[in-house]
A and B are shown apart, each in its own frame.
Chain A
């Protein structure tokens, strides 16, 4: 059972009240009629699906979380069941796209690259944060339960509000800073292979927010920077091209009240990271750097 369900049951009513007023009045009746028709169509399609499923064993059963603040019947969160024909190598994203394109075009989720680099399609699949595009159906227990990432406000179906995540990422000054650049035209800064290797994993972050969603601390402390943002700070603090003075500033940022010291090393972020970034280790290393740094001035 997902952890976010209790929160969501409160959200819809509020959100619904807000959006209702924004809908233009023109065409309301037609739209209501259209909704009714849509509901009918859906019911019919699902009946057909169920028949097919009974007849064909090579289908998989998906239970997908549905919610829309302005559509009758979806304002109360619910799960819809889809039966999708299984093909070898099928991912959760493939199955969702099939369900959308075949049964219900209002089924909504973010996705773009289909190859685990755009970071759009992190979801809660059978109770774990996963990238839908790199999660094989064959590795999952049926029925497959697909929900939006926990601990975030749900916009619609599997789409969550990302703004808070982006704000936390932006809070660590997530850009390269240095006080000196090489003088010569077309001259690069030197970086040792070892140093590049050291930051390599941290630069692989695709901002999918799976880690943030999995983190108990972030769930309880909305101001906690969270694993992804701290990892971003790590990526720069450990980059030898930035220089000591900048590193000093970076350590101050991550040492703030809602920074690294909040982490209780539960490793949930590391476990769910689809790019295998050792997030907890990076947070721990920053804690050590901060301690060393503080001792220096003591």
Chain B
């Protein structure tokens, strides 16, 4: 057993920032991650970090843009915390040596990004995430923070009171990938989930293979609701063959989108008469697919992104990385030809329900970064708003877990505030994919002693691994790809009722198949077969909750488009989708959005660009 004050799960931008903040606040913080920190997917972020740094700009404007971008599904206290906190955090990164791109006078450069009213995206070429991740890992090394790398966290150690709001998290159970050792990690003051995205639910994604939503699924099994999972951002510019991301920075610098007929369709077909290519991501993705669906796509699949007119000097200065990506992964030379692009899964706006301090409804359990939903992105995330989320909320959660007083949070979590149960009958059976990971509350005697809770969790994990390794059965890979295929086909940019129902059925079939899943590799040494098998369980839980939310939400808001209901319906749907796992099956409910900010209320308006 290992013991620390604060245990951070995941070592991307949010996890590293949380660990540093917890340590600065006096706690003994440790990071447990299935990857070495520098392998984290924060490193793949390209475009930049939004921060209102300059006098002509203000955090209020940033907050307004973010609320509008969210299609009014962001919670104002979280959005305002993001926008107020970002400038200081960006300067902190600069003070930690992060090599930002610079202006003539030596100050940090900023560029325009989609949906922003001011060019407030700070950046380091088109490799901002890489530079940010490494600058922060350097600080972790400097501070001597303990890192357990290549330890896969399997589950949380949580007490089993009837209501999730009464439970406490005392640590995690993790599997050492190199040796096969299973161990408890006791957290005296708190566990912070920072496990990143869940893009592997889809097969065309910019996300890494490791982005399997582990933290979201773990918290869900412990009783924390998943919030707004149906809101998935499809990035408009990914390379068709691999899903590799081509930064929004290309359009920010002036890149133009063309269809097969050479039309600048964002304007010529009226998708965004003012902002054009720099409209919000959901708008551009739908425009591209509409072009393809109406026969104006290239090879019936993609459109062209042209940056040649920017000139070699500017491209090399600000977008050099894009040239390498387009060449290495699509064989296109961005200096002499347009690059093929199509929408690809990029980001999950939803995640583990938290308040603006990163706290979940379970005491001692936090979530930050892409795995969390505070919510700052609502129904659609603006480009350049993910990286500031990592550092702003990473820091807040780290401090809070370490005992700093951040005041009273305004966002209620769990069923502590106003809520309503969903009025929707699912035709498909839901839940339970077998195995020995039931919901936390099993109806037995309530155990609250930390040592007992942790050792019980370790025993469950050991039994689970033993079971997966000893039995015969099917390989996870076919189950995983079945889920990815149905999600990509039916729960994509355009969604309709019959397809969503089909997806739920396919997911249920995959759950059934998962009951017979087994690990063929008999080794305890670096058994990736086992790790991927455990991840696949997480993908199943997430795919199901996501599709449930999408099926029930009969409106068009932000990234969620429904064929049958092509308007935003504030009367009925200005509310967060919540899916809780209790007693072996998912439960759908809703909680209100908080539009009241510190000094103003963000009244929903028509979102046009």
Contact = CB atoms under 8 A, between A and B. Distances in A.
A236 B38 contact: no
Interface string A109-123: 111111111111000
The 9 closest A-B pairs by CB, nearest first: A176-B97, A190-B106, A106-B521, A175-B138, A175-B142, A101-B477, A105-B529, A118-B39, A112-B208
8 contacts: A19-B525, A89-B329, A101-B475, A111-B209, A117-B43, A118-B41, A155-B525, A186-B88
Interface string B143-181: 000000000000000000000000000000000001110
B448 interface: no
A46 B374 CA distance: 50
A70 B524 contact: yes
Contacts of A200: 99, 125
Given A31-B469, A118-B44, A191-B106, 17 more contacts: A27-B466, A71-B523, A89-B330, A106-B523, A106-B529, A108-B526, A114-B242, A118-B40, A156-B523, A170-B141, A188-B94, A188-B95, A188-B107, A193-B103, A193-B104, A196-B100, A199-B99
A155 B526 contact: yes
B134 interface: yes
Contacts of A181: 95
Contact of B39 (A112, A134, A157, A174): A112
B43 A203 contact: no
B523 A113 contact: no
B107, B127, B521 pick with most chain A CB within 10 angstroms: B521
A70 B97 contact: no
A125 to B, nearest CB: 15
B523 A112 contact: no
Contacts of A113: 39, 41, 43-44, 208-209
B325 A115 contact: yes
B308 interface: no
A157 B529 CA distance: 13
A156 B526 contact: yes
A188 B445 CA distance: 56
A189 interface: yes
Interface string B126-148: 01001100110011011000000
Contacts of A118: 35, 38-41, 43-44, 208
A22 interface: yes
Interface of A: 19, 22-23, 26-27, 30-31, 34-35, 37-38, 41, 68-71, 88-89, 100-102, 104-106, 108-120, 134, 155-157, 159, 162, 166, 170, 173-176, 178, 181, 185-193, 196, 199-200, 203-204, 206-207, 236, 239, 241-242
Contacts of B179: 22
Contact of A105 (B127, B131, B331, B521): B521
B54 to A, nearest CB: 10
Contacts of B127: 117, 204
Contact of A68 (B38, B40, B44, B525): B525
A35 B472 CA distance: 11
Contacts of B97: 175-176, 178, 236, 239, 241-242
Contacts of A35: 522
B342 to A, nearest CB: 15
Nearest to A181: B95
Given A188-B108, A196-B101, A34 B209 contact: no
A241 B141 CA distance: 20
B275 interface: no
Nearest to A34: B522
B475 A105 contact: yes
A206 B524 contact: no
Contact of A190 (B96, B105, B324, B521): B105
Contact of A114 (B130, B244, B529): B244
B91 interface: yes
A69 B525 contact: yes
A70, A134, A157, A176 pick with most chain B CB within 10 angstroms: A176
A132 B331 CA distance: 16
A30 B476 CA distance: 21
A188 B103 CA distance: 12
B425 interface: no
B87 interface: yes
Given A162-B36, A176-B96, A192 B141 contact: no
B242 A30 contact: no
Contacts of B476: 105
Contacts of B290: none
A181 B88 CA distance: 14
Contacts of B88: 185-186
A134 B472 CA distance: 36
Interface string B521-535: 111111111000000
B608 interface: no
A119 to B, nearest CB: 7
Interface residues of B, number: 71
Contacts of A241: 97
A148 B139 CA distance: 30
Contacts of A106: 520-523, 527, 529
A274 B93 CA distance: 26
B138 A115 contact: no
Contacts of A26: 466
B230 to A, nearest CB: 26
B339 interface: no
Interface string B202-223: 0000001110000000000000
B587 to A, nearest CB: 34
A106 B528 CA distance: 7
B274 interface: no
A243 to B, nearest CB: 12
B405 interface: no
A196 B102 CA distance: 8
Nearest to B39: A118
Contacts of B428: none
Nearest to A23: B524
Contacts of A239: 97, 99
A108 B521 CA distance: 10
Nearest to B140: A175
A150 to B, nearest CB: 19
A105 B475 CA distance: 8
Contacts of B40: 118
B208 A191 contact: no
Contacts of B294: none
A186 B102 contact: no
A14 to B, nearest CB: 14
Given A105-B521, A156-B526, A175 B209 contact: no
A26 B465 CA distance: 13
Contacts of A156: 523, 525-526
Nearest to A187: B91
B53 interface: yes
Contacts of A176: 96-97, 135, 138
A147 B222 CA distance: 42
B529 to A, nearest CB: 4
A189 B476 CA distance: 50
A135 B606 CA distance: 47
Given A106-B529, A174-B138, A190-B107, A89 B523 contact: no
Interface string B462-500: 000010011010011100010000000000000000000
A186 B524 contact: no
Given A200-B99, A206-B130, A134 B328 contact: yes
